[in-house]
């Protein structure tokens, strides 16, 4: 039915499955995804080979349309760093697709900034953005595995996806109760030099004081929730002063993903200039 030789059948039958799973993981396909798609293709192939071709086309264009192949493609061809062809041609139109595209664009801004690594915290960076008018945690897109330092530049470990950062999603959704115009957030390091920079830039910072990690859960979110109950003044950023085992961080906000990336780059440039 597949039109391959018996030798190929034997080869696939005796191959180590991990190699195939590993190859598909480059396109952000988990083992569960791979097994599900293989089952769909196998069933359709038994029913009608033409139907199987349609199924394969749907699977592959879905992978391309959500940008899951972009990271692997750019790794092979660095000159395609700014390419968004698959997102535009195969991607679904709508706020979720737009959010993924904008976060991908924001990441490229951070990666192209020589100064941004100077304000990256030890816990690395993430950037989160809401899709459309939603306020649901599952509609927040971020970077799985975060944005990390690679030598002297920032690099995203994977393409943006939904549900990739519960912590940043929580911070953003809490702050939106006070600032509904904010739809994107990024975390950077926080020290006296960064504090001086944001003050010079005219940003009003809401500080979360020292707190205890006792009781479990996300202590930063708990502290922010309590702070928002008592503070009524406007603010542009949130400074987490940290606690035992928690690194101080500054959360910057903006109306969209590219806006918050541009703000982070401005802070980094001023920080580097001294």
Helix (H, G, I), strand (E, B) or coil at 142: strand
Same domain for 69 and 41: yes
> Residue 63 in contact with residue 90, Cβ under 8 Å?
no
Q: What is the pLDDT of residue 92?
A: 67
Instruction: Look at the chain and report how many structural domains it folds into.
Output: 2
Categorize the per-residue pLDDT at 213 as very low, low, confident or very high, splitting at 50, 70 and 90: low
Q: What is the pLDDT of residue 260?
A: 97
pLDDT tens-digit profile of 146-160? 999 998 889 998 888
Same domain for 46 and 153: no
CA 110 to chain centroid, in Å, comes to 13
The span from the CA of 101 to the CA of 94, in Å, is: 11
Residue 57 half-sphere exposure toward CB, CA atoms < 13 A: 6
Domain residues for the domain of 238 are: 93-273
Q: What is the pLDDT of residue 215?
A: 57
List, in sequence order, every residue forming a beta bridge with 111; answer none if it has no partner.
Answer: none
Burial class (CB in 10 A: 0-12, 13-18, 19+), 198: buried
Same domain for 243 and 138: yes
pLDDT tens-digit profile of 110-163? 998 999 999 999 999 999 999 988 888 989 999 988 999 998 889 998 888 888
Mean pLDDT of 56-61: 85
Same domain for 120 and 25: no
1 domain-assigned: no
Cβ-Cβ contacts under 8 Å for 148 (sequence gap 6 or more): 124, 125, 154, 155, 157
The span from the CA of 213 to the CA of 219, in Å, is: 6
Q: What is the pLDDT of residue 197?
A: 97
- Looking at every residue in the chain, the average pLDDT score rounds to 88
Q: Which of 241, 167, 164, 172 is nearest to 209 (CA)?
A: 241
> Residue 140 in contact with residue 165, Cβ under 8 Å?
yes
82 domain-assigned: no
The span from the CA of 117 to the CA of 115, in Å, is: 6
């Amino acid at each position: 039915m597949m039109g391959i030789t018996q030798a190929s059948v034997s080869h696939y039958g005796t191959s180590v499955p991990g190699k195939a799973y590993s190859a598909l993981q480059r396109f952000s396909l988990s083992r569960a995804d791979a097994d599900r798609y293989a089952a769909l293709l196998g069933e359709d192939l038994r029913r009608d080979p033409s139907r199987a071709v349609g199924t394969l086309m749907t699977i592959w264009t879905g992978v391309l349309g959500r940008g899951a192949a972009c990271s692997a493609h750019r790794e092979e061809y660095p000159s395609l760093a700014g390419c968004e062809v698959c997102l535009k041609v195969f991607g679904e139109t709508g706020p979720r697709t737009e959010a993924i595209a904008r976060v991908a664009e924001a990441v490229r801004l951070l990666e192209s900034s020589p100064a941004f690594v100077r304000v990256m915290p030890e816990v690395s960076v993430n950037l989160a953005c809401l899709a459309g008018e939603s306020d649901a945690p599952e509609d927040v897109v971020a970077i799985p595995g975060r944005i990390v330092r690679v030598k002297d530049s920032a690099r995203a470990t994977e393409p943006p996806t939904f549900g990739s950062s519960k912590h940043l999603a929580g911070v953003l959704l809490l702050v939106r109760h006070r600032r509904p115009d904010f739809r994107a957030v990024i975390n950077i390091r926080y020290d006296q030099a960064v504090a001086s920079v944001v003050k010079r830039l005219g940003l009003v910072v809401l500080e979360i004081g020292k707190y205890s990690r006792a009781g479990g859960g996300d202590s930063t979110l708990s502290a922010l929730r309590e702070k928002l109950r008592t503070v009524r003044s406007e603010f542009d950023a949130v400074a987490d002063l940290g606690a035992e085992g928690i690194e101080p961080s500054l959360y910057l906000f903006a109306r969209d993903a590219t806006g918050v990336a541009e703000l982070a780059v401005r802070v980094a440039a001023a920080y580097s200039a001294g």
